[in-house]
Amino acid sequence: MSSRTDRRGKPSVLRRPSGPDAVQPADFAGTYSFYHDGWRGWLVLEHQEGPHLTGSYRGDPGQGDFAVTAEVKNNPPHAVSITIHAFNWMVQQEFNGYLLRASGNGIAGSTVWAGDRQPYGFFARKTASLVLGRFPGAGEPVRPEDFGGRYAVFDDGMPGVLSLAADAEGAIRGSLWTEGSDRAMAVSGRVDETVAHAVELMIGEPAAVGGRKFVGYLFSKTKNAIAGWSAVGDVATGCYMTKLSPPKDARPEPSSGA
């Protein structure tokens, strides 16, 4: 266990669960930098009793302060539902995700916005806030090619580097190197046909023979991160990736906070 200091000067305890069965509701408590589809804010969660947490969410300047409640699931114990009340022109917005078990550092998953009834990705970090790059296509409708690039990956808290190439028809190919591995694994997938910012990737072998599947959502306005979950069999875990560089044939714009 280690301690960090949040932006308000309060200690934020970083707990590292030692395995799937070791996750406790108290592990979710802390101060997070919070990213949802390119928007940024700060989330505070405090453990109350049993599976329940309460807290607050504050967006970037001018976005307001909001009450938060959260409930940790029994099965699996690393799953959580976070509700921000009176937020984003809704009575409440629910974010469903998974604690990153290997690091205890954050949460990743998805949410649905009532405005268009589509899913979007989110991730949250207990450690330092990120400055995400600005890449070609930011502010424009999502195209399949926007998924291409080189990413830093945090799959259930385990770091790696992912390289993706995407064509105009939505086919994706690439490779993933994970920390501690002596070789990269092949990656293949497709952009969703109905949700332009959604993608499904298969890492290594097909799912039927034990491969790892990733379902995620490209931040639709900024194009600089993908967040969602990965799964082997029936076990889902949180996963997010931040873009390090665009495809070789695209030139990045100057970086900015996101």
Domain count, the chain: 2
Residue 208 identity:
A
Question: Both 186 and 93 in a single domain?
Answer: no
**Domain enclosing residue 91, as ranges:** 2-125
pLDDT band at 136 (very low <50, low <70, confident <90, very high): confident
Task: List CB contacts of 176: < 8 A, sequence separation 6 or more.
Answer: 153, 160, 161, 162, 163, 184, 185, 187, 203
Residue 208 lies in a domain: yes
Question: Both 107 and 19 in a single domain?
Answer: yes
Residue 30 lies in a domain: yes
Question: Both 15 and 120 in a single domain?
Answer: yes
For residue 223, what are its two tokens? 């194009």
pLDDT of 157 over the 70 cut: yes
Question: Both 20 and 117 in a single domain?
Answer: yes
pTM: 0.87
For residue 150, what are its two tokens? 């080189």
Residue 42 lies in a domain: yes
Residue 211 lies in a domain: yes
pLDDT of residue 241: 97
Residue 55 lies in a domain: yes
pLDDT of residue 249: 55
> How many degrees, rounded to 5, is the angle at CA 206 between CA 201 and CA 210?
110
Task: Calculate the average pLDDT of the chain.
Answer: 87
Question: Both 117 and 175 in a single domain?
Answer: no
Question: Both 47 and 105 in a single domain?
Answer: yes
Question: Both 156 and 231 in a single domain?
Answer: yes
pLDDT band at 8 (very low <50, low <70, confident <90, very high): very low
Distance from C-alpha of 53 to C-alpha of 37, rounded to nearest angstrom = 24
| CATH number of the structural domain spanning residue 90 | 2.40.128.120
Task: Pick the last residue of a domain from 125, 154, 173.
Answer: 125
Residue 137 lies in a domain: no
Residue 10 lies in a domain: yes
Question: Both 116 and 168 in a single domain?
Answer: no
Question: Both 185 and 77 in a single domain?
Answer: no
Distance from C-alpha of 86 to C-alpha of 96, rounded to nearest angstrom = 17
Question: Both 46 and 112 in a single domain?
Answer: yes
Distance from C-alpha of 122 to C-alpha of 109, rounded to nearest angstrom = 6
pLDDT of residue 43: 97
| CATH number of the structural domain spanning residue 176 | 2.40.128.30
The DSSP letter of residue 135 is -
Task: Pick the last residue of a domain from 66, 96, 125.
Answer: 125
Question: Both 188 and 235 in a single domain?
Answer: yes
Question: Both 41 and 100 in a single domain?
Answer: yes
Residue 133 lies in a domain: no
Average pLDDT over residues 94-115: 94
Digit-coded pLDDT (tens) for 173-227? 999 999 888 899 999 999 999 999 999 999 987 655 567 899 999 999 999 999 9
